[in-house]
Amino acid sequence: MVRSTTLNHNQSNKQMINGAAYQLAASDAGQASAFTNANNVSIKDSSFTITSNINVTTKPALDLLYQRVAPNAILNQGGRADDPKCHPGTREEVIALIEKWMDNTGGNCILWLSGPAGGGKTAIMKTIAERSTTRGIHTVNFFFFRGDSSRKSARPVVPTLLYQLMQLYPHLTETVAAIFATHPRILDTSITEQCRLISTLATTIRQSSLTGTPIVLLIDALDECDVDAERSQGDILRALQRLVFEDNSPFRLLIASRPEQPYKPLLCSNLR
């Protein structure tokens, strides 16, 4: 079931801030299927099994991951052609509503921030990610930008998110290295299969969290994924939806994009 949560202003379904209209839509979990044992996992059509006692030399295996990471897509990385940031005191209404959603761990697992081109969505998402660090909320992020060839396609999304998860939880490194040592071509599969790789780590991540606070997957400018755009955008969204909808998933999903996108029916087909 999907339920809409709009930015209300005098009962309207949108809020005007500095001349831009923003809307938030929140989604509940739908069907779920979880990998319950991170140390013994099978993935369809890949005979993908790992065990906790595998000994591997981590560097060669992890190099397969690192070469696919898009550094510019990560918050506060160098080389960014776009680096907007909200000025203090601006867009606070939108930011407050998003942070309220993040703090409500029992609420909807997906939140979509939509707004017009140039309306400041990326600045909002960057501010949210930066403030989350000081608020003790873990986020991993991917900032699409069609002006940067390294981050305008679906290909680096999962490697970049996985890399950041390893920074948050260093003890995942050995497990990830074992996966890549056994399945060096895993990142050449579909994004759905790649997300199953992240799914194998869910139990370990949950057990490692002292507070039980979910990890927010922050995806900005999904509409700027323009390599085979319509198919790629839908594939990314479907794969991430499955990830956050799994039983006891430690993940939630925050997406920002323009409202008039081909994947809108997929995201909002049951809005009410």
Q: What is the pLDDT of residues 139-149, one digit of tens each?
A: 999 999 999 99
| Residue 208: CA count within 13 A, CB half-sphere | 16
Give pLDDT, residue 100: 94
Q: What span, in angstroms and rounded, lies between the C-alpha atoms of 180 and 48?
A: 10
**Residue 90, pLDDT score:** 63
Q: Exposed e or buried b for every residue in 114-128, given b needs 16+ CB within 10 A?
A: bbeeebbbbbbbbbb
Pairing of strands 15-17, 20-27: antiparallel
Rg for the chain (alpha carbons), in Å?
A: 18
Q: What is the tens place of the pLDDT at every residue in 75-98? A: 876 545 456 666 566 678 899 999
Q: Is the predicted pLDDT of residue 45 greater than 60, yes or no?
A: no
Q: Quick count: other Cβ atoms within 10 Å of Cβ 231? A: 13
- Among the listed residues 75, 212, 215, the one whose alpha carbon sits nearest the alpha carbon of residue 142: 75
Tokens 């409500």 belong to 104
Q: Is the pLDDT of residue 260 over 70?
A: yes
pLDDT recorded at residue 266: 66
Mean pLDDT value of segment 63-71:
95
Higher-confidence residue of 255 and 206: namely: 255
Domain boundaries, the chain: 2-268
Specify the pTM: 0.79
Cβ-contact 251, 169 below 8 angstroms: no
